[in-house]
Amino acid sequence: MKPLIAPSILAANFANLPAEIQMLNTSQADWIHFDVMDGVFVPNISFGFPILEVVHRYAQKLLDVHLMIQEPERYIETFKKAGADSITVHYEACTHLHRTIQQIKAAGSKAGVALNPHTPVHLLEDIINEVDLVLLMSVNPGFGGQKFIQHTYRKVEVLKSLIEMHQSNALIEIDGGVNQSNAPILLQKGADVLVAGNFVFSSADPIQTIAELKQISL
């Protein structure tokens, strides 16, 4: 089984964003990953609705929106209207996670939940059958280009076991420091979706880099 590849446009050239999106359209990328940061939940600010609307205007791939923000429930409907096909919120940012997941589904998007590196997988036991994906942060959220955290491999194994035990259909998505060296191991452990930012956009041939990630299989 080949992985789903979701390049993160956080690493794209925003001076030439339409061309970057068109490049992804012609590549073997499956999704386009869109990181939203508010400067509160994470120590950085990225972009929001206006940029998502631009990306949606040009994109021919599923838009995978990752909300690294406080009180994400306030903005679910607006992100959906701006073009989000999938919306992932952080376990750590949601007081009423089940309600927020239901809100995302009611808006018409796929629903995901993300875990920071320090957050244990077992906390998802009561929600695992409600979500379409679980995003494991393999770096500390907030900045691109960080080094992959090795403990992520074990978390993927534990999450895969939880999903199988509960007969959930949730996909496992990995975000942070993904490259050709760790991607095969992540897939072996049970990952389904690989987010890659700097690894794709800083390469000499992003289309070829995406193709090489796509060709990795078990």
Residues identified as active-site: 35, 175
The counts of H helices and E strands in the chain are 8, 8
Residue 88 neighbours by CB distance under 10 Å: 29
Distance CA(195)–CA(68), nearest Å, equals: 15
83: left (phi over 0), alpha (psi -120 to 50) or beta: left
120 with 151: CB under 8 angstroms?
A: no
| Listed residue (123, 125, 80, 69) closest to 105, CA to CA | 80
Distance CA(202)–CA(149), nearest Å, equals: 20
Distance CA(128)–CA(168), nearest Å, equals: 6
